[in-house]
Chains A and B, each alone.
Chain A
């Protein structure tokens, strides 16, 4: 199916475990983004990528790792999950970063 998909939709993990959230888009968009949404904070940018093998830190990158070896995939890894990383995570993509940002359905992550 065309579009941007995130997996899993829901995830519960334990403190200290590594967890990877997946994001896949079928449009060959150059730009991809990861945000976390928390009550009272809106959406905060974690990492973004302008093209394959190019990634930049956003506002809240600590505790997260990204990679982008293929244009269509932009996985987000929590190397050692903490309770403060309990959040809803959104992935987004844009063809050129100028306009047309499209969001995935989100992943609700709970760290216990």
Chain B
């Protein structure tokens, strides 16, 4: 079963508008972490934002915020005031313990965001 589900293969948004990228996750751990990464066409993986499972406040980093709904197991990324440079692939990822001891990071399939001028 997929651990991280990103249901939007592609999204379009107008420049300067806000956009929400969906992410749901599945884990039985109480302690876990959720990450969002951006991958522009150049290919590098850029860390955007992190939310720990025990964090009570939603994480924010500049124009990025994470809408964390623990009971629904969702961790949606909100990008405010979209810019042309935000056009990229976006990945949601989850850190959890494997076999009770070591950590691992698993990814969703990604959402390709296109910002239109």
A binding-site residues for B, Cβ under 8 Å: 31, 33, 35, 40-45, 48, 50, 54, 56, 58-59, 88, 90, 92, 94, 96-99, 101-103, 105-106
Contacts and interface: CB of A to CB of B under 8 A. Distances in A.
Interface residues of B, number: 24
Contacts, number: 63
A42 B104 contact: no
28 contacts: A33-B104, A33-B105, A40-B109, A42-B6, A42-B108, A42-B110, A43-B93, A43-B107, A45-B106, A48-B102, A48-B104, A56-B102, A58-B104, A58-B106, A59-B106, A90-B45, A92-B45, A92-B105, A94-B105, A96-B103, A97-B102, A98-B33, A98-B95, A101-B47, A101-B105, A102-B47, A103-B44, A106-B44
Q: Say what secondary structure dominates the interface of chain B.
A: strand
Given A45-B104, A90-B45, A97-B95, 19 more contacts: A33-B105, A35-B107, A42-B108, A42-B109, A42-B110, A43-B107, A45-B105, A50-B103, A54-B102, A56-B98, A56-B99, A92-B45, A94-B103, A97-B103, A98-B103, A101-B47, A103-B37, A105-B44, A106-B43
Interface in B19-56: 33, 35, 37, 43-45, 47, 50
A51 B3 CA distance: 24
A4 to B, nearest CB: 11
Nearest to A101: B105
Interface of B: 6, 33, 35, 37, 43-45, 47, 50, 91, 93, 95, 98-99, 101-110
A103 B104 contact: no
A41 B109 contact: yes
A45 B96 CA distance: 13
Most buried by A among B50, B91, B95, B102: B102
A58 B3 CA distance: 13
Nearest to A44: B107
Contacts of B95: 97-99, 101
